[in-house]
Amino acid sequence: MKRLATTIIIVLLVIGGCSISSSNEDKDSSVDQVKDEENHDDNDNISTSKNEENDEKEEIAEDKEAEDDKEEVSKSMTPLYEVNDVWSIVPIDNANDKVVLLTIDDAPDKYGLEMAHTLKELDAPAIFFVNGHFLETPEKKEELKEIRDMGFMIGNHTVTHAYLPDLSEEEQKEEIVELNDLVEDALDERPKFFRAPNGANTDYTKKIAKEEGMTLMNWSYGYDWEEEYQTKEAITEIMLNTELLSNGSNLLMHDREWTAKALEDIVTGLREQGYELVDPHTIKTE
């Protein structure tokens, strides 16, 4: 019984963590499904206690159920997508190809936490690419944890947002590995994706990222650092109507005021065009 309860909790956690990419309806239905399973199990247990003779049989059935649950868990961990050579998110097998990925860089600065709350409300998954210079106080580390605990993935964007090709190899390594150490210190896990500031990798940073078990990820398009797009209206309009938006697009946004304000309209607009927001937890990593 205890094992079954634990299994259910694990399944709930995994489904909770991994299904954030699905639409609201999908998510509701998967949660309902788990609830149904839970109720069903409770009923089973009542009947078990009523009929002690069947205890052994039930135990075997529970074991089998636990096995099935384990299978379900491992199935849900199987990557559905991968990053291709132009940083698009493409199905590995027959997953929905009409998806886009949201990424928020230079976080958690002033608006990252607010942006995470907005996305969470919308059940919209994303990767937050973080910098070490925003994680210098216990409060900011707590903020990072809050973002991760809402189900978002945390990516490596270096310690100081340095332009890596200008640095010595030793410095490049520090920028990358120390950020992972910082994140691990705060979250007990190391980032699985690496995005170099300005997308500027060197052969050496690629090697370090690989050694650290991280997948490289630049982006398909982004505009919010350009002056003409620094209003809610302008950034919403370009993010939704750029000709670069297509299946698998990897959308770059930043921890900025105008982007924070536009985020809800961007998510809604993408969904209105039929795009599903892909859960980064389903993307294959190193």
Structure tokens at 104: 């928020």
| Residue 17: CB minimum distance to Zn ion, A | 26
| DSSP code of residue 108 | S
The span of 12-20, 90-98, 101-109, 141-149 binding Zn ion (CB under 5 A) equals: 101-109
| Residue 182: CB minimum distance to Zn ion, A | 16
Structure tokens at 25: 């309806």
The span of 68-76, 100-108, 109-117, 212-220 binding Zn ion (CB under 5 A) equals: 100-108
User: How would you class 87 by CB atoms within 10 Å of its CB: exposed for 0-12, middle for 13-18, buried for 19 or more?
Assistant: buried
What span, in angstroms and rounded, lies between the C-alpha atoms of 179 and 176? Answer: 5
Of residues 105 and 123, the one with the C-beta less far from Zn ion:
105
Of residues 22 and 259, the one with the C-beta less far from Zn ion:
259
Under the binding rule (CB under 5 A), the answer on residue 175 touching Zn ion is no
Please confirm whether the linkage preceding 108 is cis (ω < 30° from 0).
Answer: yes
Are the CB atoms for 163 and 200 separated by under 8 Å?
Answer: yes
| Residue 180: CB minimum distance to Zn ion, A | 17
The span of 99-107, 146-154, 225-233, 274-282 binding Zn ion (CB under 5 A) equals: 99-107
User: How would you class 10 by CB atoms within 10 Å of its CB: exposed for 0-12, middle for 13-18, buried for 19 or more?
Assistant: middle
Nearest to 150 by CA among 112, 106, 109: 112
| Residue 208: CB minimum distance to Zn ion, A | 18
| Residue 106: CB minimum distance to Zn ion, A | 4
What span, in angstroms and rounded, lies between the C-alpha atoms of 119 and 116? Answer: 5
Helix, strand and coil in the chain, % to nearest 5: 55, 15, 30
The span of 15-23, 115-123, 191-199, 200-208 binding Zn ion (CB under 5 A) equals: 191-199
| Residue 157: CB minimum distance to Zn ion, A | 6
Of residues 45 and 221, the one with the C-beta less far from Zn ion:
221
| Residue 276: CB minimum distance to Zn ion, A | 26
Tell me the number of residues near Zn ion by CB under 5 A: 3
Under the binding rule (CB under 5 A), the answer on residue 105 touching Zn ion is yes
Give the three-class secondary structure for 215. Answer: strand
Structure tokens at 62: 């529970």
Under the binding rule (CB under 5 A), the answer on residue 106 touching Zn ion is yes
Of residues 105 and 212, the one with the C-beta less far from Zn ion:
105
Summarize as ranges the residues that interact with Zn ion (CB under 5 A): 105-106, 197
